[in-house]
Structure formats: C-alpha cells, structure tokens
Amino acid sequence: MQKLVSVVFSFYNEEKVLKELLHRIKKVFSSLTDQCSYELIFVNDSSTDHSLEILKQEAAADKRIKIINMSRNFGVSECTLAGMKYALGDAVIIMDADLQDPPEVIPQLIDKWLKENADVVYTIRTHRDGEPWLKIFLTKIGYKILRFLSTVDLPIESGDFKLMSRRAVNQIIRLEEKEPFLRGLARWVGFKQVPVYYKRESRHAGDTHFLVFSKRVLKNFVSGITSFSDIPLYIIFILGLLASFGAFLYLIAIFIMKFMGWSIPGWSAIMATIVIFGGLQILALGVIGIYLAKIHIEVKKRPNFIVESTIGFENETKK
C-alpha cells in the first residue's frame, strides 16, 4: 500500500519564496510516485504580505496543498505543532519554507524511513551557505552548550528539518508542552533515529527572521536548556556552597589576624566580598526565576496556538 507523506511548513511573510518552493518540492515528489503520495501543509503564522493569497491560488489548483491560518503570530514551533496535528501522513516532514533546507534532500529522508525502518530521520548540516561567520560561530557554541547541559543527546548542527514516523509524531503531539523545543522533543521520544547529512543553502529570497541576537533566538535557546536540563540549578547550588565555604575560611582568617594582632583588611576587602556575594545572589535568583517562569506558563495550560481558519481540509473553515 502506498505511503502518505505530510510536509509541514511554518512560515511568516514568505511571498518571494513560495512559488519556487512549490516548484521544487513538486518536482521532488514527482520522482517518488512509486514510493509515496504527499500533502503539503502550510501553517501561516499571521503573515502580513501576500503569502496567503499566493497559497490560496495554488491550493485551488492542487488539492494536495493545504493551509492553516493562525489567529495571531505564535512562533515557529507552535505552528509546526499545529501542522503535525492536522497532518494525516504515515510520516511527517517538517522544514523551513525559505529553501535553506533544500527539498532535494527529502528522497534521502524517505529512503532511510522506508529501508531502515527509522522513526526519526534527522538532518545534520555539514555546511551553511550565505550566513555570516559570527552567526555560524555563535550557533556552534549554542549547540555545544545545549548538548552539554541537556539530559537528551542533541546532535550538533541538527535543526528542525527532519522526518518522523506516525508513531513518533503521535507521541510528540500528545505531550502538550508549552514553548516546545521540537528538536529536543524529537530526541526525547526515542525510537530508532538515523541521520542524513546535507549542505544548507543560502536563503532563496527575502530577509531572515532569525537574527543572531533576536528575542526569538534567545527564547529558543533558553527553552532548549530549561526544557531538558536542571543542571543550571545545580551549578548555582555548587557556587553557593563554594561561596559559603570561602566566606567561612575568610572569617577564620579574620579571627586569626585579629588574635595575632595583624592589620585586618578594611573597606576594599569588605566591598569586594559584598559585590561577589551580591552578584551570586542575583545570578541565582535569575536562574531560579527562569525556571519559575516556565512553571508559571505550564500551569496556566493555555493552548500552544489558536487556529483561525483552514483551507483544503475536511470541515475546513474559510477565512
């Protein structure tokens, strides 16, 4: 029986890319007709350009193109989860719509899934075209920090571009985790996972939505740490112990110096001690505050996204 593959794109203002993306991905799947059929699910993160109009025209001509419109801008991971929940495929591929992740890699993902019976086929970038050296450098450091701190094995240079089997997708969407870190969740669910290596291309057109020091990138990085690691809390605990032990030794030294009649350090030493301990306390409160904020978000149990309308699905709601 022929397999159905769902491809999920989360996008925001990609009018300059969509037609080329559709051309290339249809060409890829035309070579896979013996192996699988497909559906293309575009999750519109409340775009303000003509992306939706372009997709409506394409969807009217091709029933395999489906659209989910968000009620507002929710973010990439949340929109990707929405697409995964609506997807009907035996396997689901998630990828960016900006063509940095080339559709021509899809046959390799499907081949690994079918021939090796893999539940997660993740991709690892061997090269990044069109990205500044500072972004590449900081990204590599970020991946290494996440890998070191995380309780799951996060491959370096592995992003969200991947294929997941139906059972892996079902396990992820049932988690209902707030501010989901998808590349971590895909590893956390387990099952058989195999890599595919590829060269990441430069953006086909338009500007990137992920600047190095943007709020979105920082939020994603912090979410990756707090979702899969409590090591920062232990680091704060150890620093507190070391600071307390150092303070105790310093107190003993003061008593010894006073007993021996030596001069006791004055204002400078006291101020240095206050600054060090004050900094440690603020650092500790900051780390604890981040985890408390995560708990606060989780206990409110708000949905990760709200769908305004859909196009191309059964029981669709028109916009």
Statement to judge: residues 21 and 161 lie in one domain: yes
- SS3 state at 94: strand
Is residue 220 in a domain? no
Q: How much is the average pLDDT of 111-134?
A: 82
Cα 123 to Cα 160: distance, rounded to the nearest angstrom: 8
Statement to judge: residues 288 and 252 lie in one domain: yes
Cα 185 to Cα 168: distance, rounded to the nearest angstrom: 10
Statement to judge: residues 164 and 73 lie in one domain: yes
pLDDT on residue 97: 86
* Mean of pLDDT over the chain: 80
Q: How much is the average pLDDT of 240-256?
A: 73
Q: How much is the average pLDDT of 190-208?
A: 75
pLDDT on residue 202: 66
Give per-residue pLDDT as tens, 277-315.
777 777 778 778 878 877 777 777 778 888 888 888 876
Statement to judge: residues 23 and 170 lie in one domain: yes
Domain count, the chain: 2
Give per-residue pLDDT as tens, 18-69.
989 999 999 999 888 888 889 999 999 888 888 899 999 988 888 999 999 9
Domain span holding position 90 = 3-208+304-311
pLDDT at 210 over 60: no
CA distances from 217 to 45, 50, 114, 135, 171 (A): 17, 25, 34, 11, 26
Statement to judge: residues 194 and 241 lie in one domain: no
Q: How much is the average pLDDT of 222-241?
A: 74
Statement to judge: residues 51 and 87 lie in one domain: yes
140 vs 216, higher pLDDT: 140
